[in-house]
């Protein structure tokens, strides 16, 4: 055998390239699993907060118990559950699958409750300005007038 010959270099280079590609694919798959865990945590937090808010009138214990059941059904664990009147705030954690779970958990927080009551104008009068139609509240007239001024 001649030591100057480069036989076998292609095999070694190919093996090295395959190892790099396998490592890169593993990294991409791991990042994907972490992203899925984060989305699962966000979804579980949203659903748990909605369940807790729906049962808020029954008390914090019952509402947070319902939030735990909903979170568990989504594969999550409740970290914190609090009620402030009819508004529920829930924090959950989800452990990524496989060996990634040993590095930590994905957390998400959600808040749910009744919507703010909307102010409804039943009848507004126009005073001294006939170009404003009936029903436009004075605050809207002020904003529209300011928006028209060149600035």
pLDDT digits (tens, 9 = 90+) for 30-39: 888 888 899 9
**pLDDT at residue 145 greater than cutoff 60:** no
pLDDT > 90: what percent of the chain?
45
Tell me which of 122 and 114 has the higher pLDDT: 114
CA 141 remoteness from chain centre = 37
Positive or negative, the Cα torsion across 113, 116, 117, 118? negative
pLDDT digits (tens, 9 = 90+) for 43-86: 999 999 999 999 999 999 999 999 999 999 999 999 999 998 88
pTM for the structure as a whole: 0.63
User: What's the rounded Cα separation, in Å, for the pair 96 and 108?
Assistant: 13
In sequence order, what are the residues at sequence separation of 6 or more whose Cβ sits closer than 8 angstroms to the Cβ of residue 69?
51
14 exposed, middle or buried (CB, 10 Å; 0-12, 13-18, 19+)? Answer: exposed
Domain ranges in the chain are 16-117, 119-151
- Sheet of 87-94: strand order equals 77-84, 87-94, 106-112
Tell me which residue has tokens 């865990």: 37
């Amino acid at each position: 055998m001649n030591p100057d010959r480069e036989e076998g270099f292609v095999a070694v280079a190919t093996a090295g390239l395959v190892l790099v590609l396998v490592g890169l694919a593993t990294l991409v798959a791991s990042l994907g699993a972490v992203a899925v865990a984060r989305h699962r945590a966000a979804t579980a937090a949203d659903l748990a907060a909605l369940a807790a808010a729906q049962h808020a009138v029954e008390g914090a214990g019952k509402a947070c118990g319902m939030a735990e059941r909903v979170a568990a059904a989504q594969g999550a664990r409740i970290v914190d559950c609090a009620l402030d009147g009819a508004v529920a705030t829930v924090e959950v954690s989800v452990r990524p699958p496989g060996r990634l779970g040993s590095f930590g958990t994905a957390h998400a927080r959600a808040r749910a409750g009744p919507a703010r009551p909307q102010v409804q104008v039943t009848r507004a009068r126009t005073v001294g300005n006939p170009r404003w139609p009936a029903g436009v509240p004075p605050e809207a007239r002020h904003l529209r007038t300011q928006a028209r001024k060149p600035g």
